[in-house]
Chain A
């Protein structure tokens, strides 16, 4: 889709308006309820704390650590999920054997599993990566399975009539056809990866945005910093999601 600058601006206005409305509503709640900054800091207080925490380097190292955990965990989980999703789609026996375990693993609260993983893998980066991988695995594997299964059987017959090899069928037909569905899974997965990293950090870590949340709340009693960290997390989620959408646009286009 090609948008003129004017049309793009028109597209930005509603979002800007909604943001302004949200901030105003927030401010009104603070005024009406009279909550102190310890309970609910006003938007300008949070904004000021956010700027300060970035300026004095409070947030950046924590963000970098969390980002590394997300990148590794999402990369690992997504890769495994893509392969598993394909196998589940094409081997009915594999689906019957594996799907109960996959569903059970998904149904288990990640919050309950995190301490166990910390016990096994120590307090380093490994348990966070594993938790991220676990949490992103399910939506991506299922989206891949559904996408591959929905590839038009008539196109598969066409490829067969053209003597495509197994590998050619995967690369030129099945994966391109399943991409829109796969990206649906990746979009969900990448936002969950942020959750996974924070949960992993809560189970024991010395750095990361999850650690900063705990510090701000538990030892520093700095609620505006807690809000500034949450804001950072929200922005991180939006940026990562946006990145996935950008890659999707590049690969899938406007079809």
Chain B
């Protein structure tokens, strides 16, 4: 699997119409290279364009200038090789967990038997086999986000993009899901790009933490995380982590963001 899931973001510039004449520059010349199998956390203040960058990589948003390449191929639209997990679970409320997880397979035209087998596999992988027949309103927040993750994994993407995926969950659930995400990464070596507000979470998950500035967004710092894998929550107490967190916060602090956002 080496070499699959390499992302190159070259000079990406994105602006949105704001009012009649003005344009708001969300991303101003982002350059970023992410190796296959690498885990990169994007961190930055609200409105810094982190989610926008994720959408550009996912092929949901075409940049005004610049390009994104996946394994050397320019991204022109959504690709089955890229899986996106949103901040909200975005499950179809009228579908059961199983039918939600199988939705991408259904859209891709998988025949019923294969689909069912794959859905069982996925539900087992995220610990939701017991909830296969339930609808989203019957699931807890954590279960919903697990279902969303399973749905994203259905087509075995080589790149996993996560937009503050667990930010709406309580801390315990969030830690567990982060651990599971690392377990998944260890098994599949999927390239992971995760947007987060939390310095702790960024350090815990990532090989590199990329700090994005306030609008117009550009890369402020690119900080390697030296923690060995597999990681455990206890690793977060190490002195080196404190030092790294201090460095990241320094960059964020220059942007004058408030403590509440950086709290893990």
A residues contacting B by CB (< 8 A) are: 152, 154-155, 157-165, 168, 172-173, 176-177, 252-253, 255
Contacts and interface: CB of A to CB of B under 8 A. Distances in A.
Contact of B84 (A161, A164, A173, A176): A161
27 contacts: A154-B88, A155-B90, A155-B92, A157-B86, A157-B90, A159-B107, A160-B60, A161-B60, A161-B78, A161-B84, A162-B78, A162-B103, A162-B107, A162-B108, A163-B77, A163-B108, A168-B107, A172-B103, A172-B106, A172-B107, A176-B94, A177-B92, A177-B94, A252-B94, A255-B93, A255-B94, A255-B135
A168 B103 CA distance: 11
B92 A173 contact: yes
A164 B78 CA distance: 10
Interface of B: 58, 60, 77-80, 84, 86, 88, 90, 92-94, 103-104, 106-108, 135, 137
A72 to B, nearest CB: 31
Contacts of B135: 255
Contacts of B84: 161
Contacts of A161: 58, 60, 78, 84
A236 B58 CA distance: 54
A154 B86 contact: yes
B94 A253 contact: yes
A163 B78 contact: yes
Contact of B86 (A158, A252, A253): A158
Contacts of A255: 93-94, 135, 137
Nearest to A159: B107
Given A162-B78, A162-B103, A172-B106, A157 B94 contact: no
A219 B135 CA distance: 60
Contacts of A168: 107
Contacts of A173: 92
Nearest to A155: B90
B90 A164 contact: no
Contacts of A164: 107
Given A159-B107, A162-B107, A252-B94, 12 more contacts: A154-B86, A157-B60, A158-B86, A161-B60, A161-B78, A161-B84, A164-B107, A172-B92, A176-B92, A255-B93, A255-B94, A255-B135
A86 to B, nearest CB: 19
B220 to A, nearest CB: 28
A228 B135 CA distance: 47
A163 B80 contact: yes
Contacts of B86: 154, 157-158
Contact of A163 (B90, B94, B106, B107): B107
Closest A-B pairs by Cβ, 6 of them = A158-B90, A162-B104, A164-B107, A161-B84, A161-B78, A163-B78
Contacts of A157: 60, 86, 90
Q: Which of A158, A159, A177 has the most CB of B within 10 A?
A: A158
Given A154-B90, A173-B92, A176-B94, A160 B78 contact: yes
Contacts of B106: 172
Contacts of A155: 90, 92
Contacts of A159: 107
Contacts of A253: 94
A192 to B, nearest CB: 28
Nearest to A162: B104
A250 to B, nearest CB: 13
Nearest to B148: A158
Contacts of B77: 163
A101 B84 CA distance: 43
Nearest to A163: B78
Nearest to A154: B90
A180 to B, nearest CB: 9
Nearest to A254: B135
Contacts of A176: 92, 94
B88 to A, nearest CB: 6
B102 to A, nearest CB: 11
A133 to B, nearest CB: 30
B95 to A, nearest CB: 8
A253 B107 CA distance: 23
Nearest to B83: A161
Contacts of B103: 162, 172
Contacts of B60: 157, 160-161
Contacts of B80: 163
A244 B92 CA distance: 24
Contacts of B79: 163
